[in-house]
Amino acid sequence: MRLLKRAEDKLHFHCLARERQLLLELLSLYPLVPVGHQELTRAGDRPEDQALLDTALAEHAAENAAQIRRLLQSPEQFRPLATGLLFIVSAEELEGLLQALNDIRVGSWLVLGGPDLEGEMPAVHQDNVRYFWAMDLAGNFQMMFLRALTNDPATPPEP
């Protein structure tokens, strides 16, 4: 996927059918960060405050997921081209995609036990391979979308 142009508040991307399928499959994992992962404070405020935060974050994730589903299921979002698809998205819609991709990347990292570069990586097996895949692919899409938003001329890696 690559940025073709910016017109008004819309970004136009060239997208291959397989890239669209990868993005849809990846976003089907959203939300992935477990409820309660974001702590209000480390000092341990009142439990009802943490419950309120958890509820607000869950509602935000549900609203964002519904917006993303509507966006990606709209026939206007992916228009046929001779060499693939034209994916048109507003900066606001792209922000929602970036939030979802970040949730998937961080959630995958959590599922994998939060491995760090210094420690030992978990073994890849049938039950966790999708999270290694999701973490890497979400990061690639994030880089590409962020470069498009910030007009970064660097060529992003193809997901």
Domain range annotation of the chain: 2-150
- The pLDDT score that the predictor gives to residue 44 is 59
The mean per-residue pLDDT over the stretch 90-95 comes to 94
The answer to whether residue 159 scores a pLDDT higher than 60 is no
The two structure tokens encoding residue 75: 């026939």
Query: Is 106 or 153 the better-scoring residue by pLDDT?
Result: 106
Asked if residue 156 has a cis previous peptide bond (ω within 30° of 0), the answer is no
DSSP string, 62-129: HHHHHHHHHHHH-TTTEEEETTEEEEEEEHHHHHHHHHHHHHHHHHHHHHTT---SSSPPPPP-TTTH
Tens-digit pLDDT profile for residues 108-148: 999 998 877 677 778 889 999 999 999 999 999 999 999 99
Q: Which of 17, 104, 12 has the alpha carbon at shortest distance from 65?
A: 104
pTM: predicted TM-score of the whole model, two decimal places: 0.86
Tens-digit pLDDT profile for residues 30-79: 999 987 776 666 555 677 887 888 899 889 889 999 999 999 999 889 99
